Amino acid sequence: MAINVQAEGTPNPNAMKFTADKVLFEGSGSASFKKSDDTDHPLAKELLALDGVDNIFGFQDFVTVNKLPDAEWDELLPKVEEVFDNVYGA
């Protein structure tokens, strides 16, 4: 089942919010992951594996991806979109 994801900027130039049309993170709490974290969450694991991603924050139907200052969104965005396709089967 394909997933529809909308990307939007945030006040932080190193962060971008991705809102999906389905729940990405179950439960009532938020989830925060750093590169060094060992997680079984498939989306978090693949996003953190991308070069240039520093950490992520997820809650229900959205995830905020924080990039390293020297990474470029032009290069990172297609890779983030590919992760959503891989994890949620486009």
pLDDT digits (tens, 9 = 90+) for 13-69: 999 999 999 999 988 889 999 998 888 999 999 999 999 999 999 999 999 999 999
Q: Select from 3.40.640.10, 3.30.1370.70, 1.10.760.10, 2.30.110.10 the CATH code of 26-80.
A: 3.30.1370.70
- Binned at pLDDT 50, 70 and 90, residue 9 comes out as very high
At 1 the pLDDT is 55
Q: What angle do CA 70, 87, 1 make, to 5 degrees?
A: 135
Domain regions of the chain by residue span: 26-80
Separation between Cα atoms, residue 35 and residue 32, nearest integer Å: 10
pTM > 0.75: yes or no: yes
The enclosing H or E element of 43 equals: helix 42-49
What token pair was written down for 63?
A: 């995830």
